[in-house]
Amino acid sequence: MIAEVKRILLAEDDPNDVELTLAALAEHRLANEVDVVRDGEQALEYLECRGAYAGRPGGNPALLLLDLKMPKRDGLEVLQAIRRHDALRMIPVVMLTSSREEQDLIRSYELGVNAYVVKPVAFPDFVHAVRQIGIFWAVINQAPPPHPHRRPM
């Protein structure tokens, strides 16, 4: 049984990483559902459907794969902005990063990240990790409702 696959947004500035990530997802036929943005600013434009993404099909992605180190606005800033945004705050966010630094981990969780994954150096491990993430969040996990309303105050 193949469950409904929702879109995944990948925010990653490094084209090599983008390619490897897509390659890993492609092995599990998840690649077609991935939209890629190349920095934090683009990620927010995408999510808020403005700028270059003003006319994109509506709806939040089922998962945001977020790199920490990106030009303009980095992953943590993007995460902070999303969590403060009424329409976006429920989007599942997984940090996919090279950093093992404790300070990054702590900061990410403080800002309400859903998962934090360090990219393994060995490619088979990397593939395995990305695949797990993709299947879990895009397939197994029940996403938040598509049009979240402002919570009654």
Partner 1 sequence: MITRLHRIWASLPLRTKGLVVVAIPLLPLVVTTGILSRGDRRVEAAQDAQTRVFETRDQLEAALTLLIDADTAVRGYLLTGRPDQLDPYWRAQRTLPVALARLDALTAAEPVIHGPLLALAPVIRQRMRALDRLVRLGPPGAPGEQPDYDRALDRSKALMDEIRARIASLGRLAGRLESERRAQTRAALRDVLEVAAAGGVFGLIGGVIAMLLFTSGVSNRVGLIAAAADSLARGEPAQAVPDQEGDEVGRLGLRLQEAFALLLARDDERRRAHEDFDRFFEVSPVMLCIAGGDGYFRRVNPAWTARLGWTAEELLAVPYADRAHPEDREALLQELSRLLSGRSMQAYEGRYTCRDGSYRWLRWVAFHHRDEQLIYGVVRDVTERRRAVAALRASDARLQAILNNSPAAIYVKDLDGRFVLVNREFERLFGRTQAQLQGLTDEALHDPAEAARIRRDDLEILRAGRPRELEERVPFADGEHVYMSIKFPLDDGTGAPVALCGISVDITARTHAEESVRTLNHALSLRMADLSVANRELEAFSYSVSHDLRAPLRHVAGFAALLTQTSSDALGEDGRRYVRTIAESADRMGRLIDDLLAFSRMGRVDLRRAVVPLRPLVDDVLAELRADVVGRAVDWTVHAMPSVYADPAMLRQVLLNLVDNALKYTRPRERAEIEIGSRPAEDGFVAVYVADNGVGFDMQYADKLFGVFQRLHRADQFEGTGIGLANVRRIVQRHGGRTWAEGAVDRGACFWVTLPVTEGRA
Q: Is 123 in the site for partner 1 (CB under 8 A)?
A: yes
Q: Is 128 in the site for partner 1 (CB under 8 A)?
A: no
Token pair, residue 121, equals 């150096």
Q: How far is the CB of 150 from partner 1 (least distance, A)?
A: 37
- Work out the number of other CB atoms within 10 angstroms of the CB of residue 6: 17
Token pair, residue 66, equals 């977020």
Among 5, 6, 7, 23, binds partner 1 (CB under 8 A): 23
Number of shown-chain residues binding partner 1 (CB under 8 A): 21
Token pair, residue 13, equals 């500035």
Stretch 43-82: interaction string toward partner 1, x if CB under 8 A: -------------------------xx-------------
Q: Scanning the structure block, which residue is given the tokens 């409904």?
A: 4
Please report, in angstroms and rounded to a whole number, the separation of the first and last CA atoms in the chain: 41
Which sign does the torsion angle of CA 137, 143, 148, 153 carry?
A: negative
Q: Is 101 in the site for partner 1 (CB under 8 A)?
A: yes
Residues that bind partner 1 (CB under 8 A): 14, 16-17, 20, 23, 68-69, 97-102, 119-124, 126-127
